[in-house]
C-alpha cells in the first residue's frame, strides 16, 4: 500500500503539527508495511498563515494530484477544506480539535474571521465524505460526530513525546508553578494568573509561564503580582528542565483537543493540576488533581495541597509516570497500522 502523508507545516517548524507528522511517519516506516511518501501542503517560503492559505487554495489540487497513492493521510483536519473533492474517497484525516468550529458556535471564546469560518465550515462538511477519520482523543471524536454526523471515528491516542536532555545551567527558582501555552483565549493564561494570585501568601513560590510573548494585558496583570516570570519560545531542552524542576504544572484550559503538556509533565515526574474541560480528564487519567476551569479557588487549593503535602505529591508523581509512559511509540504505531488495515479491509469489501 502506498501512503502519501500530507503535511501542513514544515518538519523543521516548532509546534504540535510538525511533531505529529514526524510521529506518524516514524511509526509507518518502522512497521515496514507501507511505501510512505510525503506531500507538503505549504509553500517553500512560508511568510504568514493567510498567505499560506491563499497558496493552498491555488495550488493544493495540483500538488496533491501529482502524488499517486492508495491512501492520502491528511495530518491536520483543519486543512481538509483544501483537499479536492475528487480525492476525498482516498483520503483519511486526523482531527486534533474543532476549536475554530466551536468558536463559531459560541461554545468557546473568540470569533474566527469570515475567511477562517469558511475554511472550518468546508473542513467539517468534508469530514463526512473522506474514507476515514481518527482523533487524538475520545472528546474530539465525539465533537466530530456531533458536528459532521460521522460515527465511525477512530480514537488514536498520541504517544508521549520523548523529551530532550535538560541543560544544567538554566537558572530556575527552587519552587515554582509552571504553565505552558499560547495566547489563545481557550488556553486561559489570564486564569493562570488569577489562580496564582490566590497563592500570594506562599512567598517562596514563583510562577513561570512559557509560550509566545505575552499580550500587553497579561504583562499588566502579571506586574501586579510578584514572582511571575515569562519565558518566550523555550527550546525543547529548556522545556525539559522546566518540567523536571517545576513543583506543579498548572493547566486550567477551557478546552484542549489533547493537551500534550499534561502527559509530558507526568512523564517528567511533575505533578499536574488541570481543568476538567474537554479531553483533559482522559489525557491525565486518574493521575492529576482537577477542577472546573472556572473554579479558580479549587485549582488554587489543589496547587497549595501539592506544594504542602509531600506524600500526595510523591503518589501523583509515580502514578503520573506510570500512566504517561505507557503511551509508547510502539503502541501508537500498532494502533495506527491497525487503523490502516481496517480501512484497507473496508475498501476491499
Q: Mind listing the pLDDT tens digit for each residue in 15-60?
A: 888 899 999 999 999 999 999 999 999 998 877 888 899 999 999 9
Round to whole Å and give the CA distance between 236 and 107.
33
Cell of 77: 483536519
Confidence at residue 253, expressed as pLDDT on a 0 to 100 scale: 98
Cross-strand bridge partners of residue 4: 37, 72
Structure confidence at residue 193 as a pLDDT band (50, 70, 90): very high
Give the DSSP letter of residue 205: E
Structure confidence at residue 164 as a pLDDT band (50, 70, 90): confident
Cell of 21: 507528522
> Is pLDDT at 349 greater than 70 in this prediction?
no
> CB under 8 Å to 345, separation ≥6 — which residues?
none
β-pair type (205-211, 175-180): parallel
Confidence at residue 182, expressed as pLDDT on a 0 to 100 scale: 95
CA-based max dimension of the chain: 66
Q: Using one digit for the tens of pLDDT, what is the confidence trace for 205-214?
A: 999 999 999 9
Q: Which residue has the cell 502579571?
A: 222
Round to whole Å and give the CA distance between 248 and 339.
36
Q: What are the backbone angles phi and psi of residue 330, rounded to the nearest 5°?
A: -65, -40
Confidence at residue 347, expressed as pLDDT on a 0 to 100 scale: 62
Q: Using one digit for the tens of pLDDT, what is the confidence trace for 85-98?
A: 999 999 999 999 99
Q: What are the backbone angles phi and psi of residue 270, rounded to the nearest 5°?
A: -105, 125
Q: Which domains does the chain have, with CATH numbers?
A: 2-159+328-348 (3.40.50.2000), 175-324 (3.40.50.2000)
- For 308-341, give one letter per residue: b (16+ CB within 10 A) or e: eeeeebeebbebbbebbeebebeebbebbbebbe
Confidence at residue 307, expressed as pLDDT on a 0 to 100 scale: 97
Q: Which residue has the cell 498520541?
A: 158
Q: Are 36 and 5 in contact (CB under 8 A)?
A: yes
Cell of 16: 504540535
Q: Are 43 and 55 in contact (CB under 8 A)?
A: yes
Instruction: Give me the half-sphere count of Cα atoms (radius 13 Å) on the Cβ side of residue 97.
Output: 18
Amino acid at each position: 500500500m502506498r501512503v502519501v502523508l500530507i503535511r501542513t507545516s514544515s518538519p523543521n517548524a516548532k509546534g504540535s503539527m510538525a511533531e505529529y507528522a514526524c510521529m506518524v511517519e516514524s511509526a509507518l516506516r518502522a512497521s515496514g508495511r507501507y511505501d510512505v511518501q510525503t506531500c507538503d501542503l505549504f509553500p517553500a517560503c512560508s511568510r504568514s498563515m493567510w498567505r499560506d492559505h491563499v497558496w493552498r487554495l491555488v495550488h493544493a489540487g495540483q500538488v496533491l494530484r501529482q502524488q499517486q497513492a492508495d491512501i492520502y493521510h491528511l495530518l491536520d483536519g483543519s486543512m481538509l477544506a483544501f483537499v479536492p473533492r475528487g480525492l476525498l474517497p482516498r483520503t483519511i484525516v486526523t482531527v486534533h480539535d474543532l476549536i475554530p468550529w466551536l468558536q463559531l458556535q459560541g461554545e468557546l471564546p473568540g470569533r474566527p474571521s469570515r475567511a477562517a469560518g469558511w475554511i472550518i465550515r468546508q473542513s467539517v462538511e468534508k469530514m463526512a465524505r473522506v474514507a476515514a477519520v481518527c482523533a487524538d482523543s475520545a472528546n474530539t471524536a465525539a465533537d466530530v460526530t456531533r458536528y459532521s454526523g460521522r460515527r465511525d471515528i477512530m480514537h488514536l491516542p498520541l504517544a508521549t513525546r520523548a523529551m530532550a536532555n535538560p541543560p544544567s545551567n538554566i537558572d530556575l527558582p527552587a519552587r515554582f508553578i509552571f504553565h505552558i501555552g499560547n495566547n489563545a483565549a481557550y488556553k486561559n493564561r489570564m486564569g493562570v494568573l488569577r489562580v496564582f494570585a490566590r497563592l500570594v501568601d506562599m512567598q517562596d513560590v514563583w510562577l513561570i509561564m512559557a509560550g509566545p510573548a505575552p499580550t500587553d494585558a497579561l504583562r499588566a496583570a502579571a506586574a501586579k503580582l510578584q514572582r511571575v516570570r515569562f519565558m518566550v519560545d523555550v527550546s525543547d531542552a529548556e522545556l525539559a528542565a522546566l518540567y523536571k524542576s517545576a513543583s506543579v504544572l498548572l493547566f486550567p484550559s477551557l478546552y484542549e483537543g489533547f493537551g500534550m503538556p499534561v502527559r509530558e509533565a507526568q512523564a517528567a515526574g511533575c505533578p499536574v493540576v488541570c481543568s476538567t474541560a474537554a479531553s483533559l480528564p482522559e489525557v491525565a487519567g486518574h493521575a492529576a488533581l482537577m477542577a472546573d476551569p472556572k473554579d479558580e479557588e479549587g485549582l488554587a487549593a489543589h496547587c497549595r495541597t501539592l506544594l504542602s503535602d509531600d506524600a500526595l505529591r510523591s503518589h501523583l508523581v509515580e502514578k503520573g509516570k506510570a500512566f504517561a509512559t505507557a503511551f509508547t511509540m510502539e503502541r501508537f504505531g500498532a494502533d495506527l497500522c491497525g487503523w490502516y488495515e481496517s480501512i484497507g479491509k473496508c475498501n476491499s469489501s
